Chains A and B, each alone.
Chain A
Amino acid sequence: MKNAAKKIYIGLIILFLYAPIGTLMVLSLNASKTRAKWGGFSIKWYIALFQNEEILRALVNTLLIALLSSLVATMIGTIACIAMTGMKRQAKSILMGITNIPMLNADIVTGVSLMLLYISLGIRFGMGTILLSHITFNIPYVILSVMPRMKQLNPSTFEAALDLGSSHINAFFKVVFPDLLPGILSGFLMAFTMSLDDFIITHFTKGVGVDTLSTKIYTEIKKGIKPEMYALSSLIFVTVLTLLILINLSPDKKEKK
Chain B
Amino acid sequence: MNKELIQLIDISKSFDGQMVLDELNLSIHENEFVTLLGPSGCGKTTTLRILGGFASPDTGRVVFDGQDITRIPPNKRQLNTVFQKYALFTHMTIAENIAFGLKIKKKTKSYIDDKIRYALKLVNLEGYENRMPDSLSGGQQQRIAIARAIVNEPKVLLLDEPLGALDLKLRQEMQYELIRMKNELGITFVYVTHDQEEALTMSDTIVVMNQGYIQQIGSPESIYNEPENAFVADFIGDSNIIPATMIKDELVEILGTRFACVDTGFGVNKPVDAVIRPEDVILVEPDNGSINGVVTHLIFKGVHYEMEVTANGYEWLVHSTTLYPVGKEVGIQVDPFNIQIMNKPESEDEEAVAIDI
Q: A residues bordering B, Cβ < 8 Å?
A: 154, 156-157, 159-167, 170, 174-175, 178-179, 257
Measured CB to CB, the nearest residue on chain B to A181 is B91
Per the CB 8 Å criterion, the residue count for chain B at the interface is: 27
Q: A157-B87, A159-B54 are in contact. Are A165 and B152 (CB under 8 A)?
A: yes
A178 / chain B contacts, CB cutoff of 8 Å: 89, 91
* Chain B residues, Cβ within 8 Å of A162: 53-54, 73-75
Known contacts A159-B54, A179-B90: A164-B85 contact under CB 8 Å: no
Residues of A within 8 A of B81 (CB): 159-160, 163
Interface string of B88-101 (1 = CB under 8 A from A): 11110000000011
A170 to B85, CA, bound (A): 22
Whether B89 contacts A175 by the Cβ 8 Å rule is yes
Q: Is the CB of A164 within 8 A of B91?
A: no
* A171 and chain B: residue at smallest CB distance: B75
User: In the assembled complex, which residues on chain A have CB atoms less than 8 Å from the CB atom of B3?
Assistant: none
B211 at interface, CB cutoff 8 A? no
Interface positions of B from 314 to 330, Cβ below 8 Å from A: none
Given A161-B100, A178-B91, A179-B90, residue A167 in contact with residue B84 (CB < 8 A): no
Complex Cα distance A174/B90, Å? Answer: 11
Q: Which B residues lie within 8 Å of A161 (CB)?
A: 89, 100
Q: Does B12 contact A (CB under 8 A)?
A: no
Inside 8 A of A167's CB, which chain B residues have their CB? 75
Q: A166, B89: Cβ atoms under 8 Å? A: no
**Residues A163 and B91 in contact, CB atoms below 8 Å apart:** no
In Å, the complex CA distance between A154 and B101 comes to: 19
Check if B104 sits within 8 Å of A164, measured CB to CB: yes
State whether B75 touches A154 (Cβ < 8 A).
Answer: no
User: Does B235 sit at the interface, judged by CB under 8 A?
Assistant: no
Q: How far is the CA of A163 from the CA of B88 in the complex (A)?
A: 12
Q: B83: CB under 8 A from chain A?
A: yes
B101 touches A179 (CB 8 A): no
- What 18 new A-B contacts, CB under 8 Å, besides A157-B87, A157-B89, A160-B89? A154-B85, A154-B87, A156-B84, A162-B53, A162-B54, A162-B74, A162-B75, A163-B52, A163-B74, A163-B75, A163-B81, A164-B80, A164-B149, A164-B152, A165-B75, A165-B152, A166-B100, A174-B100
* A-B residue pairs in contact (CB < 8 Å), sample of 22: A154-B85, A156-B85, A157-B88, A157-B89, A159-B83, A160-B83, A160-B145, A160-B148, A162-B53, A162-B54, A163-B52, A163-B74, A163-B75, A164-B149, A164-B152, A165-B76, A165-B101, A165-B105, A174-B89, A174-B100, A175-B89, A179-B91
Q: How many angstroms from the CA of A159 to the CA of B85 in the assembled complex? A: 12
Q: Sort A-B residue pairs by CB-CB distance and give the 3 closest, nearest first.
A: A164-B101, A156-B87, A160-B87
Determine the residue in chain B with the shortest Cβ distance to A254.
B91
Contacts of B73 on A, CB cut-off 8 Å?
Answer: 162
Chain B residue numbers with a CB within 8 Å of A170 are 104
A166 to B105, CA, bound (A): 9
- Residues in A neighbouring B52, C-beta threshold 8 A: 159, 163
How distant is the Cα of A165 from the Cα of B149 in the complex, in angstroms? 11
Chain A min CB distance to B249 (Å)? 52
Given that A159-B74, A159-B81 are known contacts, is A165 also in contact with B87, CB under 8 Å in the complex?
no
The reply to whether B89 and A156 form a contact with Cβ atoms under 8 Å apart is: no
Bitwise, B51-88 to A at CB < 8 A (1) or not (0) is 01110000000000000000001111000110111111
Given A159-B54, A159-B74, A159-B81, check contact A164 B87 (CB 8 Å). Answer: no
A157 to chain B minimum Cβ distance, whole angstroms, is 5
Chain B residues lying within 8 Å of A154, measured Cβ to Cβ, are: 85, 87
Name the A residues within 8 Å of B149 (CB-CB): 163-164
Contact of B100 among A159, A164, A179 (CB under 8 A): A164
Separation in Å of the A53 CB from the closest CB of chain B? 46
Q: How far, in Å, is A38 (CB) from chain B's closest CB?
A: 54
Most buried by A among B74, B80, B90: B74
Q: How far is A160 from B133 in the complex, measured between Cα atoms in Å?
A: 15
- Known contacts A154-B85, A156-B87; A163 and B80 CB within 8 A of each other: yes
* A178–B132 alpha-carbon span in the complex (Å): 15
Q: How far is the CA of A164 from the CA of B91 in the complex (A)?
A: 17
CB-CB under 8 A from B88, the residues of chain A are 157, 160
